[in-house]
Amino acid sequence: MKIKRYYSLNMYFKGICSHRVGKICVDAGFTCPNRDGTISERGCLFCDEKGSAADYIKRNLPVHEQVKVYLKEKSRGDDRYIVYFQPFTNTYEKAAILKDLYKAVFVNDRIIGISIGTRPDCIDPEKIGIIEDIAENHEVWLEMGLQTSNNKTLRTINRGHTAEDFKNAMELTKGTNIKVCAHVIIGLPGEGPEDYRQTADFLSSLPVRGVKLHHLYIAKGTQTAELYKKGEIKTMEKEEYIKQAGEFLKRIRPDIVIHRLMGDCSEERLIAPLWTRENNSVMDGINGFLKKNNSWQGRDCSSKI
Ligand code: SF4
């Protein structure tokens, strides 16, 4: 049996549920202030017209129907599920509407919680109150995009928010049962090892409970695709990503759950790098890097929360 040198999501789920836990992605029909003109119309450099949605989502159905279809067609055995409100900004609505949407996906006892993908500048105390009501009896994660703690890079990729916005959003969740999972990208234009270290240290200094790590990949229909074609941005080599992801894990607090270790893109949409399809070998590579260096998640982290 392979021993993981980081705190994986599977390990976390095993600690809270006797069943296997999976995720069901749903599309609640949101847009994003960084796309509808409120902040900008361009969106983030790497965002496509689907707002980074899973390919299997049946967007034309209400969310509770999407969950039912998934349970009927794709669920296995007696598995339990977290419903993931995935594409675009899933808190970008009036609080009362959000309340009904979030509650609607609890179609039976196999749904043990929700995960809400959003931006740090799209939550407020009223919305946190609604989410906390659900978190009192269910597993609830707020997946907040940070991508990097470097404000210069955040401007370059047109995120439309700052690292300070992320910190302020974290304050709003203080004292609640809501767990924040930060999204981070390694390989953003202009960034290098020092930026990855600073982002890891920034997150470790906050009460973040999870991290989703992605490599920068180029998908069709994005601004990064245009820049890549013109040779203005590059993607990382597989071995370099394995090393930098391993170094990132060394700096991250050991109690932070690692939800992902690389990005995922369908074959039809993927332009580069082609090793994006080698999920298992990259994850094994990162674990192998830690082993070879006699290291583990949090080895070089001094933050304690
Ligand atoms: S915040 Fe998310 S949905 Fe909005 S433009 Fe950026 S990646 Fe797309």
Q: Which atom of ligand 1 is nearest to the CA of 42?
A: 5
The predicted model gives 219-246 an average pLDDT of 97
Q: Is residue 223 domain-resident?
A: yes
Q: Scanning the structure block, which residue is given the tokens 């974290």?
A: 170
CA atoms within 13 A on the CB side of 268: 2
pLDDT of residue 51: 61
Provide the number of structural domains found in the chain: 1
pLDDT of residue 35: 95
Choosing from 27, 47, 156 the residue with most ligand 1 atoms within 8 A of its CB, the one to mutate for a pocket test is 47
pLDDT tens digit string along 8-36? 999 999 999 999 999 999 999 999 999 99
Joined tokens for residue 230: 């013109």
Centroid of ligand 1 to alpha carbon of 44 (angstroms):
5
pLDDT tens digit string along 43-94? 999 998 776 667 777 778 999 999 999 999 999 888 999 999 999 999 999 9
80-85 and 21-26: which strand pairing?
A: parallel
What distance lies between CA 128 and its chain's CA centroid? 19
- Nearest CA to 238 among 266, 203, 271, 275? 275
Helix (H) or strand (E) holding 228: helix 223-229
Q: Is residue 303 domain-resident?
A: no
User: By percentage, how much of the chain surpasses pLDDT 70?
Assistant: 99
The predicted model gives 103-132 an average pLDDT of 98
Q: Is residue 131 domain-resident?
A: yes
Nearest CA to ligand 1 atom 5: 43
Q: Is residue 304 domain-resident?
A: no
User: By percentage, how much of the chain surpasses pLDDT 90?
Assistant: 92
51 CB under 6 A from ligand 1?
A: yes
Q: Is residue 273 domain-resident?
A: yes
Q: Which domain holds residue 66?
A: 9-292
Q: Has this prediction a pTM greater than 0.85?
A: yes
Q: Is residue 302 domain-resident?
A: no
User: CATH number of the domain that 195 lies in?
Assistant: 3.20.20.70
Nearest CA to ligand 1 atom 2: 88
The DSSP letter of residue 276 is: G
Q: Which atom of ligand 1 is nearest to the CA of 88?
A: 3
Nearest CA to ligand 1 atom 6: 44
pLDDT tens digit string along 147-177? 999 999 999 999 999 999 999 999 999 999 9
* Burial class for 92, CB neighbours closer than 10 Å (0-12, 13-18, 19+): buried
pLDDT of residue 52: 63
Question: Distances in Å between the alpha carbon of 174 and those of 49, 129, 130, 169?
Answer: 33, 12, 14, 9
The predicted model gives 190-217 an average pLDDT of 98
